[in-house]
Amino acid sequence: MKKCYTYDDINIIPKYSDIEHRDKINISTRFTKKTLLDVPIVSSPMDTITEYDMANEMLEWGGVGVIHRFMSIEKQSRQMKQLKYQFDSYFSQDEKDWDKEYEEATEDDDRELILHIMDGNDRWSKRPLCAAIGVTEDYLERARELELNGCNVLLIDVAHGHHKLVGDAIEEIKTRLPSIEVIAGSVATGEACEYLCEKGADAIRIGIGNGSLCETRIRTGVGIPQVTALLDCVAVADTYGCPTIADGGIRTVGDVCKGLSCGADSIMLGSLLSGTKETPGEIEKVGKWPNEQLYKKYRGSASLDSKKSRGNNKNVEGNHKVIPYKGKVKRIITDIQEGLRSSFSYVGANNLSEFHSKVELIQVTRAGNIEGQPHLL
């Protein structure tokens, strides 16, 4: 029987570093085969995490938000259209002919600055606008409408990605909508990853049964600890040149760093972003001033609460809770950016590619884990 590991079982080994300024470390990454992110953060397609407000905020900060599918086609498409409009407004602010500006520049410093701007514009043009779909009923109609309204990446959002319906959906979308990229999952084995890559997936979502509200392992006994799942899947995905997204098991910024250390190209977040201003839902007030406390609802996509809102109460594998209100999501994104750059510097890595090649992991005991937590004598 194979021994498996999760984030609490490992630490990153510090190495020699010659990095003088952490703020110069590049934390950009691939999201899919054709799209790029300035920050390796993806907001989860949960109905209490990502709608337009979160997707727009993630876009502005250099990550990506996946607009969830638990709404009508019309509403989801309308949100995508709104996001595309915002994307175009960011991109169209710079209307200069930079090729001409470069040719006419006389100073080396000016030329260097213009090249930097041109590189930034090129990266911006490769940003993803992403939304989730299923694999049954209206999924093709939903995919078409999303593409018409600006979506360039679709995420097939199902619990078990190693499935015939998922493979068929990838092939169908690739045939009917050849310009759009497809992220497939969720999976947790190299065999499943190979299946999706062979079907034409442009990125793989990795993680089964490890979300903070997920009860899959409790109710079904199915799942693989995330570190083992990542190592197995990334080894296969890399042979296909297919980016990977680590989804689930993230409780701290350190876990985000560990996810990338296992070879993932980006990290999907749910609970870390929950309770923020940009998440869907109303702020709930409990108590009276001056002891008033603020909360927001957070629920798993397979929770009874979520399924009931869609007229279904079968195959429940999730939970729901209320989260203390956290304010704007930018504080969390900034914390993650700082943590990533610090982690890269401990390994002597200037970018994610170097981090992947230089990083080494060590197994830690339970006592070692406790030692790593804040403690007093």
258/94 Cα distance (integer angstroms): 37
Q: Indicate which residue of 130, 197, 214, 233 is catalytic.
A: 214
132: left (phi over 0), alpha (psi -120 to 50) or beta: beta
User: Which two tokens mark 370?
Assistant: 């406790």
151/58 Cα distance (integer angstroms): 15
The closest alpha carbon to 66, from 123, 127, 125, 129, belongs to 129
The closest alpha carbon to 361, from 190, 227, 225, 208, belongs to 227
Phi and psi at 261, nearest 5°, equal -65, -25
2/23 Cα distance (integer angstroms): 40
Q: Is 233 a catalytic residue?
A: no
Q: Which value, to the nearest 10 degrees, does the dihedral of the CA atoms of residues 68, 70, 75, 80 take?
A: 10
40/260 Cα distance (integer angstroms): 9
Residues annotated catalytic, as ranges = 214
